[in-house]
Chain A
Amino acid sequence: MKFNLKVWRQKNAKAEGKLVDYTIDNIIPDMSFLEMVDVLNDNLVRKGEDPIAFDHDCREGICGMCSMYISGRAHGPQHAATTCQLYMRSFKDGDTIYVEPFRAGAFPIIKDLVTDRSAFDRIISKGGFVSVNTGQAQDANNLPVDKAFAEKAMDAAACIGCGACVAACPNSAAMLFVSAKISQLALLPQGGPERNNRAINMVNQMDEEGFGSCTNIGACEAECPKEIKLTNIARMNREYLVASLINE
Chain B
Amino acid sequence: MALTGLFLITFLVVHAGINSMIWFNDGGETFSNWGHFMGTNLIIRTMEIVLIIGFLVHIIDGLLLWKQNRDARPVKYAYSNPAANSKWYSRSMGLLGTLILIFLVIHTAHFWIPNRLSQGISNWEHGEIDLYGKMVEIFQNPLIVLVYVAGCFSLFWHLLHGFKSAFQSLGLNNVKYNKAIEIAGTAFAIIVPLVFALMPISFYFHLVH
Contacts and interface: CB of A to CB of B under 8 A. Distances in A.
B169 interface: yes
Contact of A216 (B71, B74, B168): B168
Interface string A75-105: 0010000000000000000000010100111
Given A231-B175, A235-B171, A241-B171, A216 B85 contact: no
Given A72-B77, A72-B80, A98-B78, A219 B168 contact: no
B206 interface: no
B163 to A, nearest CB: 11
Nearest to A174: B72
Contacts, number: 112
B84 A73 contact: yes
B65 A19 contact: no
Interface residues on A, range: 35 or more
Interface stretch (B33-41, B86-94, B132-140, B189-197): B86-94
A184 interface: no
Interface in B43-73: 65, 68-69, 71-73
A213 interface: yes
Given A234-B168, A234-B172, A104 B90 contact: no
A238 B85 CA distance: 25
User: Of residues A17, A73, A77, A170, which shows the largest number of chain B Cβ atoms within 10 Å of its Cβ?
Assistant: A170
B99 to A, nearest CB: 17
Nearest to B166: A216
A105 B69 CA distance: 10
Contacts of B77: 69, 72, 100, 103
Given A71-B79, A231-B175, A218 B84 contact: no
Counting chain A CB atoms within 10 Å of each CB, the highest count among B79, B161, B164, B173 belongs to B79
B79 A72 contact: yes
B173 to A, nearest CB: 3
A238 B171 contact: yes
A214 interface: yes
Given A106-B72, A212-B72, A216-B165, A100 B79 contact: yes
Interface of A: 6, 8, 17, 19, 69, 71-73, 77, 98, 100, 103-106, 168, 170-173, 210-219, 222-223, 230-231, 233-239, 241
Given A105-B74, A212-B68, A218-B87, 8 more contacts: A17-B75, A72-B84, A219-B82, A219-B85, A230-B173, A235-B171, A238-B170, A241-B171
Interface of B: 1, 65, 68-69, 71-82, 84-87, 90-91, 93, 161, 164-165, 167-173, 175, 178
Please give me the 8 A-B residue pairs with the lowest Cβ-Cβ distance, nearest first: A238-B171, A72-B81, A234-B173, A212-B72, A222-B85, A171-B69, A172-B72, A237-B171
